[in-house]
Chain A
Amino acid sequence: MAPDKNPLPYTDTKPVGAADFYFAINATFRFVLRKLGADGLRRYWTHMGTHYHAPVTARWSAGGASAIAAHWRAFFAAEPGAEVEVSERGDIVRLEVKVCPAISHLRANRREIVPCYCQHCYFVSEAIAAPAGFTVRVSGGNGSCRQIFQRRDAQLPPQDFAQIKEATC
């Protein structure tokens, strides 16, 4: 796909990523948690969503729910081993993650997974979505989950972290 047609702001010449990079993502979470604590890890995720992913926010701001759905379809098409259904109805975008590529690869390689691994999906996506006028709620985790993006004016209750499972090997 030509870069100007790709819903993803950062594009590569290869069609999918290298799964072993999930090892480094997991190791980075563990390192930040050990050095900076849980607040530091949440700050890392939020800053990444706000700054590194700022071009994603810009696209979601301009394109609304359709841009969010297009982003996630392209995103998971480029993640090795992902099985995800993305649906859009009005201003609501729903991700049904049947096979999380990261948890699947870490587990297949018997890597110790940071227990709060799945929380990053909430913190990173919320930081991307909020300036675009959207919010996300995550439920499930540990290999499969549901993520729902809605307009912030939907007045949803805050994310319930008890709804996000701890990740296990």
Chain B
Amino acid sequence: MLGSYDFCGHYEWTFEWLREQGGDPLVRVYWDEAIHRDSQTHARELIVAGGIAGMKKYWAHTLDHEAAGFAITHKDDVIRIDMHDCPSKGFLIRNGLAQYRDYCDHCIGWIGPLMKEAGFVIDHAHNHCGQCWWEMRCADDFTPPSAKGELSGQGDVRLRSDWNQAGEMDVFQRATDVDDKTTASPA
């Protein structure tokens, strides 16, 4: 039986298996069709109907359920998530599991299409070490991403001394697609 306990391990293995079967396009379609539109229908229902309030409800429940180390900050026009200890990526790191080239891409791989449908865009960065941040705003709001500490205070993951530990950062600006990524060396 495939279990929930080591789910992140066989989920990550599946990305690479799908890539071998049908290339990157099949992986992207998987994240959209299987995860966004099938597995995560509960997220879709909350967020498309409730916008930022729906996002807060979904992530507060999900991240708590997965025992994540995280902070959620929200205002009427933006929601920010600071992930300090991703349970999913952390599981992979601790167990030495790395089949697919960037596991972290799966999040924007399914959340991106969902946000597009709900009328939002994403500013996001991940450091491949189980730490990332997200800001979601309405697509017609051109406010740039917040400065360090501006929205989430001391909970801002970018203030961590180890935020730049990996040597390169994947960055998304006003994105809804995993291919909107740029990879940058940390300043």
Do A8 and B2 contact each other (CB < 8 Å), given the known contacts A27-B38, A48-B17?
no
The answer to whether A89 has its CB under 8 Å from any CB of chain B is no
How distant is the Cα of A36 from the Cα of B4 in the complex, in angstroms?
24
Would B34 and A52 count as touching, CB distance under 8 A? no
Do A21 and B34 contact each other (CB < 8 Å), given the known contacts A36-B21, A47-B17, A120-B1?
no
Would B87 and A19 count as touching, CB distance under 8 A? no
How distant is the Cα of A14 from the Cα of B35 in the complex, in angstroms?
23
Give the residues from 10 to 43 in chain A that come closer than 8 angstroms, CB to CB, to chain B.
Answer: 10-14, 16-28, 30-32, 35-36, 40
Give the residues from 62 to 84 in chain A that come closer than 8 angstroms, CB to CB, to chain B.
Answer: 75, 78-80
**Distance between B8 CB and nearest chain A CB, rounded to angstroms:** 8
Would A12 and B34 count as touching, CB distance under 8 A? no
The answer to whether B159 has its CB under 8 Å from any CB of chain A is no
Would B40 and A23 count as touching, CB distance under 8 A? yes
Do A20 and B62 contact each other (CB < 8 Å), given the known contacts A120-B1, A121-B1?
yes
Question: Scoring B residues 1 to 45 as 1 if CB is less than 8 Å from chain A, else 0, what string do you get?
Answer: 111111101110110011001100010011001110011100000
Would A18 and B66 count as touching, CB distance under 8 A? yes
Select which of A25, A30, A35, A80 is within 8 A of B22 by beta carbon: A35
How would you classify the secondary structure of chain B's contact residues: helix, strand, loop or mixed?
helix
Would A17 and B4 count as touching, CB distance under 8 A? yes
Would A40 and B39 count as touching, CB distance under 8 A? no
Would A12 and B4 count as touching, CB distance under 8 A? no
How distant is the Cα of A101 from the Cα of B1 in the complex, in angstroms?
10
Who on chain A is nearest to B18 by CB? A32
Do A28 and B14 contact each other (CB < 8 Å), given the known contacts A10-B97, A13-B67, A20-B65?
yes
Interface size classification for chain B: 35 or more
Tell me how many residue pairs across A and B have CB atoms closer than 8 Å: 107
Who on chain B is nearest to A24 by CB? B39
How distant is the Cα of A101 from the Cα of B21 in the complex, in angstroms?
30
Select which of A30, A32, A75 is within 8 A of B1 by beta carbon: A75
How distant is the Cα of A101 from the Cα of B7 in the complex, in angstroms?
14
Select which of B4, B5, B13, B30 is within 8 A of A51 by beta carbon: B13
How distant is the Cα of A20 from the Cα of B41 in the complex, in angstroms?
11
* Contact residues in B for A10 (Cβ distance below 8 Å): 6, 9, 91, 95, 97
* Contact residues in B for A36 (Cβ distance below 8 Å): 21
Who on chain A is nearest to B33 by CB? A31
Would B4 and A21 count as touching, CB distance under 8 A? yes
Binding site for B on A (CB under 8 A): 8-14, 16-28, 30-32, 35-36, 40, 44, 47-48, 51-52, 75, 78-80, 100-102, 120-121, 124-125
A–B Cβ pairs within 8 angstroms, 10 of them = A10-B6, A17-B6, A24-B34, A40-B21, A52-B9, A52-B10, A75-B3, A79-B3, A120-B1, A125-B1
Binding site for A on B (CB under 8 A): 1-7, 9-11, 13-14, 17-18, 21-22, 26, 29-30, 33-35, 38-40, 62, 65-67, 87, 90-91, 94-95, 97
